[in-house]
Amino acid sequence: MLKNAKAVFYVTPNLPAYMTGYRERLVYLPNPVDVDDLSAPAPKGVSKVLIFTRLDPIKGVDRIFSAAERLSDQVELSALRWGPLSNQYVRDYERWVRFEKTVPHAEVGAFLAGFDVVIGQMKQGILSLMEIEALGSGRPLITGIDWSLYPQDPPPVIAASDADAIVAGVEKLRGDPAEVARLSREGREWVVRNHGYAHHLRLLEAAYFGSADPRPGPRPRPGV
Q: pLDDT (tens digit, 9 = 90+) per residue, 48-64?
A: 999 999 999 999 999 99
35-193 CATH choice from 3.40.640.10, 3.30.420.40, 3.40.50.2000, 3.30.230.10: 3.40.50.2000
Average pLDDT over residues 179-184: 97
Q: Count CB atoms within 10 A of the CB of residue 77.
A: 25
Q: Where are the alpha helices (DSSP H) in 48-139?
A: 61-65, 68-72, 86-93, 108-112, 129-136
pTM over 0.75? The answer is yes
The rounded mean pLDDT for the chain is: 91
Q: Are 110 and 81 within 8 A, CB to CB?
A: no
pLDDT at 144 over 90: yes
- Residue-level pLDDT at 45: 94
pLDDT at 3 over 80: no
Q: Are 13 and 73 within 8 A, CB to CB?
A: no
Q: Are 112 and 42 within 8 A, CB to CB?
A: no
| Domain residue limits, the chain | 2-32+198-209, 35-193
